[in-house]
């Protein structure tokens, strides 16, 4: 039962081959710089009985088709391939960024699904065309293999209108589908499921706040297992302070920058997406570098951590108010899983709301899912490593079971 999981970007293909009988990764890799002068494929094979083997190929990769063929040649390589031939792949899962309002769950890919993805291009003009490229190429190369689309937005389709509507003229929602959609849904759903297991009760009875802090950051309020509010909006720019994305700003900032700095809308968009967030505040976007600088007395680095963790705390407070009862708060992704300082500062002052960290448990380094709250904390706090590829593979299995 080998599944091929594909995350196709505009100039890259990230992939894994997972053996679903044991849920183990057989190979993982990345094709980069598709369409540039020098392309690159890096593959790591986990052959099980032998040590992991890394291989790198550098050559021009003209398009996604060429990239995918190189991946298959690598996976079937007679020395360190993990499959004998392409027919060993029994299902393919595609990560798709924007499903708009069309998809509340993962879908077996059919011409109708492809049509809907095309319809949603205006909502994700950079991501959806790249995802579609990956789907088309995979369907061409593996015509007999069932393929499933797993959407970043689908988990959040349970949000009620009071959470997803922006207070702007209603026609913009009716005619152009301007609303909050939310992203990182696969990750939020995965860690929520793992958290329910740790809490020892069905997900459908759990109220949770899941906090994904990586390069992109988002927080979700989960009531009885369903997303009822989330911090990312119509695009992945709203909400928390991210690596290079601003999160919430006054929408009138655009006009100010145009009138006072003569900036075009596209330049403002690039500024908010690529030059803001932690990077905008202190010039660095990797939290490890920021902590190092902060420890050496860099005031802007210290402030960047404060701005991010203060925003986290505000959202946690808002979601506690929205949920009423909270069983668990979950930290995940690069920062959430590895950074005890950000976790502690994000929860600072929430003792009155029943949130109490155990400093020793919070400080422990581990790759395992674990509880980090004090025994007397009414809200339990967890660190749960996310695994988006495995989450996608499980979704694929579920869709194919029907």
User: Where along the sequence are the contacts to ligand ADP (CB under 6 A)?
Assistant: 214-216, 243, 286-288, 333-335, 338-339
Distance CA 106, CA 317 (A): 31
In the complex, the smallest distance separating the C-beta of residue 335 from ligand ADP, rounded to whole angstroms, is 5
Distance CA 187, CA 152 (A): 8
Tokens of 234: 């119509």
Distance CA 336, CA 342 (A): 8
| 349 CB neighbour count, 10 Å cutoff | 10
In the complex, the smallest distance separating the C-beta of residue 312 from ligand ADP, rounded to whole angstroms, is 14
In the complex, the smallest distance separating the C-beta of residue 216 from ligand ADP, rounded to whole angstroms, is 5
**CA distances to 107, 210, 332, 336 from 218, in Å:** 24, 8, 10, 11
Q: Which is nearer to ligand ADP, 157 or 338 (CB)?
A: 338
Of these residues, 152, 229, 327, 339, which one is catalytic?
A: 152
**Token pair 């708060």 is at which residue?**
329
User: Phi, psi at residue 209, to the nearest 5°?
Assistant: -115, 115
Q: Which residue in the shown chain puts its C-beta closest to ligand ADP? A: 334
What is the CA 390 to chain-centroid distance, rounded?
Answer: 13
| 51 CB neighbour count, 10 Å cutoff | 8
In the complex, the smallest distance separating the C-beta of residue 361 from ligand ADP, rounded to whole angstroms, is 17
Q: Are 190 and 154 in contact (CB under 8 A)?
A: no
* Count of residues in the chain: 402
Distance CA 117, CA 102 (A): 9
Distance CA 158, CA 59 (A): 45
Instruction: Provide the edge-to-edge strand list for the sheet that holds 208-213.
Output: 226-230, 217-223, 208-213, 328-332, 380-383, 370-371
In the complex, the smallest distance separating the C-beta of residue 366 from ligand ADP, rounded to whole angstroms, is 12
Q: Is 152 a catalytic residue?
A: yes
Q: Are 145 and 90 in contact (CB under 8 A)?
A: yes
Instruction: Please name which of 283, 278, 287, 282 lies closest in space to residue 339, comparing C-alpha atoms.
Output: 287
List the catalytic residues.
152
């Amino acid at each position: 039962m080998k599944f091929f999981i594909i995350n196709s970007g505009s100039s890259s293909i990230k992939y894994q081959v997972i053996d679903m009988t044991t849920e183990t990764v057989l190979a993982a890799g990345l094709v980069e710089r598709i369409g540039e002068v020098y392309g690159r494929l890096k593959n790591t094979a986990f052959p099980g009985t032998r040590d992991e083997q890394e291989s790198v190929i550098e050559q021009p990769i003209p398009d996604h088709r060429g990239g995918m063929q190189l991946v298959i040649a690598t996976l079937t390589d007679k020395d360190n391939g993990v499959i004998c031939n392409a027919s060993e792949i029994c299902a393919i899962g595609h990560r798709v960024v924007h499903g708009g309002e069309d998809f509340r769950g993962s879908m077996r890919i059919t011409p109708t699904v492809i049509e809907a993805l095309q319809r949603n291009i205006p909502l994700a003009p950079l991501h959806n065309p790249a995802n579609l490229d990956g789907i088309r190429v995979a369907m061409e190369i593996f015509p007999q293999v069932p393929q499933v689309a797993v959407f970043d937005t689908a988990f959040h389709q349970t949000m009620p209108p009071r959470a997803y509507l922006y207070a702007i003229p209603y026609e913009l929602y009716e005619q152009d589908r301007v609303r909050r959609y939310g992203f990182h849904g696969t990750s939020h759903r995965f860690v929520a499921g793992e958290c329910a297991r740790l809490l020892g009760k069905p997900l459908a009875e759990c109220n949770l706040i899941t906090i994904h802090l990586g390069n992109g950051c988002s927080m979700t309020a989960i009531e009885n297992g369903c997303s009822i509010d989330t911090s990312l909006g119509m695009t992945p720019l709203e909400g928390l302070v991210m690596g290079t994305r601003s999160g919430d700003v006054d929408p009138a900032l655009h006009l100010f920058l145009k009138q006072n700095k003569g900036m075009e809308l596209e330049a403002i968009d690039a500024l908010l997406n690529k030059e803001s967030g932690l990077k905008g505040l202190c010039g660095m976007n990797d939290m490890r570098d920021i902590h190092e600088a902060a420890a050496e007395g860099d005031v802007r680095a210290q402030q960047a951590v404060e701005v991010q963790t203060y925003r986290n705390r505000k959202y946690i407070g808002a979601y506690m108010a929205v949920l009423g009862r909270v069983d668990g708060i979950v930290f995940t992704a690069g920062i959430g899983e590895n950074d005890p300082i950000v976790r502690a500062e994000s929860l600072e002052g929430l003792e009155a709301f029943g949130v109490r960290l155990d400093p020793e448990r919070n400080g422990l380094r581990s790759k395992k899912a674990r509880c980090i709250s004090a025994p007397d904390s009414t809200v339990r706090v967890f660190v749960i490593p996310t695994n988006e590829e495995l989450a996608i593979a499980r979704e694929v299995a579920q869709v194919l079971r029907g």
